[in-house]
């Protein structure tokens, strides 16, 4: 590293954010960037350690550690420190398809495994990455490669989320003719409709899609393959097909009163909010969806947090977020050593906004819904909550969360959002293509491979491995592209 003592000289400083009072009034991105010289100081904190766990992408104790894309993090940080931003972009682009997405929504697996983070704050790799890609866009460096020679091979990619886009990007660069089919009205999949605009402004997606179109990728929207389009027709037209439809089958809550009006799956709710906002250029917020309502969000993950922040922006009267599991420790426990993913308490932007607006953390731990109560019109009006406690199953040895007798509590509820995760792929897609699935309904392949049980059909992303992160989906897409290319051409340079 050019600044070998940087980690001793500079403390970690993150980019500024808009205040909670200001940002809850709109759906604009609220994370800002540091001035360039300050960002260089943050890059100087990289230690160039002997074993860069940040780029390992390994699984330790069943959890991710380091970047699944294997970005050469110390090299990029060094180039940022030296002010060589064009070279930093070139280096990052070798391993990464879309830094503009992950630098906004990734939980930064690289930082969690940073050696500097063992005794101090980790290097701000995520913001360094954002500075690189935004510099590249600002200086017209980002170009999608338009192949000079086409191979004559045609590939269909079903789904335009991060794995589908990454697959399409690399296969098009190779010279194959690629068509991406998306069942919704806009390209982006989970990036478009599963992540709120304040975390990932949709113009960031649009500028990348424009480049891919200019380079020859064809996008078809409002095309629900398996319903509107028959797989057999695609199999006749294309040499290979890649399924990248996501793990979009939501986990439901089976309790009395579940059929009440006003109880929705979280992603359906977030999708409607974003679509209505985009349709009118965010000039009028869809406040009718949550304004004046007592909102209950069931689920403590990123989607649950996104629902909290979204409902606050739409004028919710109150927001309560239920988490089944116990409250995490505020610091690492001895049983969770570095470089494992830190299982510690994280207060995200939505919870920060709720604390500022309502005066308390919206999260209620070790709690779930036992029953929903309807009004005379069939709308949800109340929920009966019940506390949970951990109890080990004597047969399996697994620890389960079980209800505590007599702990029931009735609360008001005008809108309930179920953010309890996803069960796997949707049946109509896998059945229509005739591919085998595993016990979790993920499409089955050989270990480390992406070819399905049906010749010529491949799978990428959450549809393959189950609900995961955007960065993992991109990595899956890149791996799938290389495997498809090898099968089509007999060799691959991807």
For 286-325, how does the pLDDT look when each residue is reduced to its tens digit (9 = 90+)?
999 999 999 999 999 999 999 999 999 999 999 999 999 9
Say how far residue 155 (Cα) sits from the centre of its chain.
25
pLDDT band at 170 (very low <50, low <70, confident <90, very high): very high
**Under a CB-based contact definition with an 8 Å cutoff, are residues 387 and 403 in contact?**
yes
Q: Which one is the CATH code of 154-248+423-489: 3.65.10.10, 1.10.10.10, 3.50.50.60, 1.10.1040.10? A: 3.50.50.60
Give the pLDDT band (50/70/90) at residue 2: low
Cα gap 342→179, rounded to integer Å: 40
Task: Enumerate the CATH 1.10.1060.10 domain ranges in the chain, comma separated.
Answer: 6-138
Strand partners for 107: none
Pairwise CA distance, residues 471 & 452, whole Å: 22
pTM of the model: 0.96
pLDDT in tens, 21-52: 999 999 999 999 999 999 999 999 999 888 99
Q: Let me know: does 106 contact 471? Beta carbons within 8 Å.
A: yes
Percentage of the chain exceeding pLDDT 90: 95
Q: Dump strand ranges (E) for 182-308.
A: 218-220, 240-243, 249-250, 263-265, 294-298
Intervals of CATH 3.50.50.60 along the chain: 154-248+423-489, 252-420
Q: Is 113 left (phi over 0), alpha (psi -120 to 50) or beta?
A: alpha
d(CA 381, CA 210): 45
Dist CA 395 CA 444 (whole Å): 29
C-alpha gyration radius of the chain: 23
User: Which CATH class name applies to 252-420?
Assistant: alpha beta
Instruction: State which CATH number among 1.10.1060.10, 3.40.605.10, 3.40.50.300, 1.25.40.10 fits the domain covering 6-138.
Output: 1.10.1060.10
CA 182 – CA 227 distance, rounded (Å): 12
């Amino acid at each position: 590293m050019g600044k070998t003592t940087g980690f001793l000289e500079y403390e970690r400083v993150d980019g500024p954010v808009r205040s909670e009072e200001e940002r809850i009034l709109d759906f604009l991105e609220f994370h800002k960037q540091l001035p360039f010289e300050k960002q260089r100081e943050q890059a100087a904190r990289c230690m160039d350690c002997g074993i860069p766990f940040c780029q390992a992408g390994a699984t330790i104790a069943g959890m991710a550690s380091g970047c699944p894309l294997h970005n050469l993090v110390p090299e990029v940080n060094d180039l940022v420190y030296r002010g060589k931003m064009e070279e930093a972009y070139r280096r990052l682009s070798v391993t990464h398809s879309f830094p503009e997405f992950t630098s906004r929504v990734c939980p930064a697996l690289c930082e969690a495994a940073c050696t500097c983070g063992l005794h101090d704050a980790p290097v701000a790799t995520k913001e360094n990455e954002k500075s690189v890609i935004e510099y590249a866009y600002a200086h017209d460096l980002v170009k999608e490669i338009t192949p000079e020679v086409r191979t004559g091979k045609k590939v269909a990619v079903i789904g335009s989320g991060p794995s589908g886009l990454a697959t399409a990007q690399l296969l098009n660069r190779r010279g194959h003719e690629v068509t991406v089919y998306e069942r919704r009205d806009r390209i982006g999949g989970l990036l478009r409709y599963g992540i709120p605009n304040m975390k990932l402004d949709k113009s960031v997606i649009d500028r990348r899609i424009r480049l891919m179109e200019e380079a020859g990728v064809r996008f078809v929207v409002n095309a629900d393959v398996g319903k509107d389009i028959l797989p057999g027709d695609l199999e006749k037209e294309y040499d290979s097909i890649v399924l990248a439809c996501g793990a979009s089958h939501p986990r439901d809550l089976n309790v009395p009163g579940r059929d009440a009006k006003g109880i929705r799956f979280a992603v359906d709710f977030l999708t409607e909010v974003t679509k209505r906002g985009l349709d009118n250029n965010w000039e009028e917020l869809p406040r009718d969806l949550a304004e004046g309502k007592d909102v209950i969000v069931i689920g403590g993950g990123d989607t649950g947090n996104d629902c909290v922040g979204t409902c606050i922006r739409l004028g919710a009267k109150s927001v309560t977020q239920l988490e089944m599991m116990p409250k995490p420790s505020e610091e690492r426990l001895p049983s969770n050593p570095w470089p494992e993913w830190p299982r510690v308490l994280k207060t995200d932007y939505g919870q920060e906004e709720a604390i500022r607006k309502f005066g308390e953390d919206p999260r209620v731990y070790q709690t779930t819904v036992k029953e929903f109560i309807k009004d005379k019109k069939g709308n949800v009006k109340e929920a009966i909550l019940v506390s949970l406690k951990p109890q080990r199953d004597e047969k399996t040895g697994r620890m389960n969360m079980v209800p505590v007798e007599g702990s029931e509590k009735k609360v008001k509820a005008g809108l309930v959002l179920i953010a309890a995760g996803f069960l796997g792929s949707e049946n109509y897609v896998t059945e229509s293509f005739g591919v085998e699935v595993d016990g979790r309904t993920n499409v089955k392949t050989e270990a480390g491979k992406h070819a399905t049980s049906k010749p010529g059909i491949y799978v990428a992303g959450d549809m393959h491995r189950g609900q995961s992160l955007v960065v993992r989906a991109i990595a899956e897409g890149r791996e799938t592209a290389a495997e498809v290319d090898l099968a089509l051409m007999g060799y691959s340079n991807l």
